[in-house]
Structure 1
Amino acid sequence: MGIEACVPRSYDSLTLDVAVVDAVGHLIAFIRQDGALMGSIDLAINKAVTARMFDGP
């Protein structure tokens, strides 16, 4: 399964950045949809790291 599978079809009208981190919080995959805000890059990465620190999905 690729990272593209992380973006459900129900979000077609939204522009998203999706970050995936490993067990220690290192970025291993990132996808950015056309039109997504530049500031959301850091937000997506930081959110993924924070979720990992709290054993989130």
Structure 2
Amino acid sequence: KNVNISMWESLSIPGQRDLLQAAMKDWTTLNQLVQMQDKVLTNAAQPEGSHGGQK
């Protein structure tokens, strides 16, 4: 099993599953989505302003 799949399935954002299903047909898109999610998680773990105030 792909670990990334369970990570995406755990999200309850509307339309997320459709994005995942589309991404599974296109590995490049899936990689971009995973990188985007990693960036979101990384930013969320950072205290305010530690990223140069970038949001």
Question: Shorter-chain TM-score category?
Answer: 0.3 to 0.5
* Higher radius of gyration, 1 or 2: 2
TM-score (normalised: structure 1) = 0.38
Q: Relative contact order (alpha carbons < 8 A, sep ≥ 6): 1 or 2 greater?
A: 1
TM-score (normalised: structure 2) = 0.39
| Structure ranking higher in helix proportion | 2
| Structure ranking higher in strand proportion | 1
